[in-house]
A and B are shown apart, each in its own frame.
Chain A
Amino acid sequence: AQSVTQPDIHITVSEGASLELRCNYSYGATPYLFWYVQSPGQGLQLLLKYFSGDTLVQGIKGFEAEFKRSQSSFNLRKPSVHWSDAAEYFCAVGDSIGISGGSYIPTFGRGTSLIVHP
């Protein structure tokens, strides 16, 4: 079964500092990988996704992530954090279950809460 581990429950950074949020996955084949952000009281918004191809993926709001198959990781990075980036970040892995139409079932990590100090 697929699984996602986000080892950091909380991350605190200063505004303007760089950021890296860790994500490790377990899946037998090439996974579909996602990062979502959730602001308080809001639903989840997709930051970026990896399906295949270039292992460095660019997303919205200046975020990027790198797929490293050898490490089973998909870490999220941002070179300079803004106070508005404070939120909960979720990594997810999607499994193609191969039914008619090719729907997939995603599994989410428990999330990392980002705190930004001024």
Chain B
Amino acid sequence: EAGVAQSPRYKIIEKRQSVAFWCNPISGHATLYWYQQILGQGPKLLIQFQNNGVVDDSQLPKDRFSAERLKGVDSTLKIQPAKLEDSAVYLCASSPRPGQGAREQYFGPGTRLTVT
């Protein structure tokens, strides 16, 4: 089966510009996660969707970050305007519907964002 797809793989922008990342989860996976991984740190959850509803977005900086998951499949994460401290790898992950006995997550390759 195909894995989690993300694009672009790399992005360089200047501060105050906007950027968007795209994620296509594994087919049939109900839950989708966006993580921010700053160099030297573990991934930090930004937002979690179940189908097209938000489960948790408590760590999403809502003044500049937004995310949507239309139709419960693909998802887009946007940053507007970007700051230097947003430089990180943005990871997307998906997992099967809860209750199916699988709480592990399947990660995409990530998008490395550099803000200059």
Closest to A41 in B: B109
Residues of chain B in range 18-44 having any CB-CB distance to chain A below 8 Å: 30-31, 40-44
Q: Return the 7 tightest CB-CB contacts between A and B, nearest first.
A: A108-B42, A43-B107, A102-B98, A101-B98, A44-B107, A110-B42, A43-B109
Binding site secondary structure of chain B? loop
CA distance A44 to B91 in the complex (A): 9
Total interface residues on A, using CB and 8 Å?
Answer: 28
Q: A94-B103, A102-B99, A105-B48 are in contact. Are A43 and B110 (CB under 8 A)?
A: yes
A34 touches B41 (CB 8 A): no
A90 touching B109, Cβ below 8 Å: no
- Do B48 and A103 have beta carbons less than 8 Å apart? yes
**B1 adjacent to chain A (CB < 8 Å):** no
With a cutoff of 8 Å between Cβ atoms, the chain B residues found around residue A110 in the complex are 40-42
Contacts of B103 in A (CB 8 A): 32, 49, 51, 94, 104
A101 to B110, CA, bound (A): 27
Min Cβ gap B56→A in Å is 6
A12 within 8 A of B: no
A-B pairs with CB below 8 Å: how many?
64
Residues in B neighbouring A36, C-beta threshold 8 A: 107
Interface flag for A106 (CB, 8 Å): yes
Among A32, A97, A101, chain B packs the most CB atoms within 10 A around the CB of A101
Interface flags for A98-118 (1: CB within 8 Å of B; 0: not) read 010111111111110000000
Given contacts A43-B4, A43-B109, contact A90 B50 (CB under 8 A): no
Contact B105 A106 (CB under 8 A): yes
Alpha-carbon gap, A104 to B55, bound state (A): 9
CA distance A45 to B4 in the complex (A): 12
Q: Are A43 and B91 in contact (CB under 8 A)?
A: yes
